[in-house]
Amino acid sequence: MENGVIICVDDERVVLNGLQSQLGREFGNNFPIELAESGEEALDLANALIESGKNIPIIISDELMPGIKGHELLIQIHKISPATYKILLTGQSNLDAVAQAVNLANLYRYMSKPWESQDLIMTVKEGIKGFYLDKQLEEQRKLLEIHSHLFSLFK
């Protein structure tokens, strides 16, 4: 579970503060909570994290932001980190944006503001669990592949 970072993106600092408090209490011990005030910053951050060998199990993003919109950011993140569980957390969004995020970014959840803290915690928890299960599955599949490869060599 080490090396995982949770990223929160919102142009409103007050929202980021709220997210930081809630997620920090629940997951802070195991997962650093990184905040970004724009899509651009979030992308830079994600790239940097991935480069330094970190995982991004969860990214929570607002939709309406100056510059890159939430769904566009998630599509970009999907390209660099397809396994990441992506959550769109927004006060208002048009259906197109959500549909694009679902289709092109494999959106995990759409949450509306204001959110239920319990709902958020559970969602993130499940996301993290899913992310690592996926990761484990992938690793085991790779192991299996190696095994079968070795096995075929013996044959």
Partner 1 sequence: MNKSISYLIYCLMFLAIFYQSKSQNFSITTKPTNILNKGYNIQSLAIDSIRRFISKDQVDKAIEEFNKLEIWAIKNDDMKLRYIITLNKLIISHNNKNLDSSYKNNLISIIKILDDNKFYYIKAQALEILANYYFSTKQYASSLENYINSYNIYTKFSIYEFPQKSEYLSEIANRYYYFRDFETAKRYYLEVWNSIPIEKINSNITILNSIGLCYSHLNEFTSSNYYFIKGINIANQKKEETWIGILSGNLGTNYFKENKIDESIKYFKICIELHTKNNEKKDLAITLSKYGAALLSQNKFHEALDAQLKSLNIIHLKNFNEYPITNIVFLNVAKAYAANGNFVKAYYYLDSAYIAKYNYDSDRNAVFFSGVQHKIDLEKHKAEIRITEDEIKQQKLLRNLTIGGFIVLLFILGIFYIQQKKYRKTQAKLFLAEKLAVLGQVSAGVAHEVNTPLSAIKSSAEESIIAFPEIIDELLWITKNLNENDKVLLFEFIALANPASKTLTTKEEREIKKRINQELLELGIQNSRFISEKLIQVGIYEVNSELIKLTKLPKFEKIILFVCNLLNQQKSNLTIQMAVNKASRIVKALKTYLHTSSSEDMELINLKDNLETVLTIYQNRLKQGIQVIKNYDDIPDIYGYPDQLNQVWTNLIVNAVQAMDNNGILTITLKSDSGFVVLSIKDTGKGIPKKIQSKIFDPFFTTKVSGEGSGIGLDISKRILIDHKATIFFDSIENEGTTFYVNLPIKS
Q: Are 105 and 75 a contacting pair, CB within 8 Å? A: yes
Q: Are 88 and 63 a contacting pair, CB within 8 Å? A: yes
List the beta bridge partners of residue 89: 111
7: three-class secondary structure by DSSP: strand
Q: At its nearest, how many Å lie between partner 1 and the CB of residue 115?
A: 6
Q: Residue 63 or residue 144: which is nearer to partner 1 going by CB? A: 63
Total binding residues toward partner 1, as defined by CB under 8 A: 40
Q: At its nearest, how many Å lie between partner 1 and the CB of residue 4?
A: 12
Q: Which positions from 64 through 83 interact with partner 1, judged by CB under 8 A?
A: 64-67, 69
For residue 3, state whether it binds partner 1 (rule: CB under 8 A): no
Q: Which positions from 86 through 145 interact with partner 1, judged by CB under 8 A?
A: 90-92, 94, 112-115, 117
Count of other CB atoms within 10 angstroms of residue 54: 17
Which residue of 1, 3, 13, 137 would you call a contact of partner 1, by CB under 8 A?
A: 13
DSSP secondary structure string, 61-127? E-S--SSS-HHHHHHHHHHH-TTSEEEEEES---HHHHHHHHHHH---EEEESSPPHHHHHHHHHHH
Q: At its nearest, how many Å lie between partner 1 and the CB of residue 11?
A: 7
The footprint of partner 1 (CB under 8 A) covers: 10-22, 24-25, 28-29, 32-37, 41, 45, 62, 64-67, 69, 90-92, 94, 112-115, 117
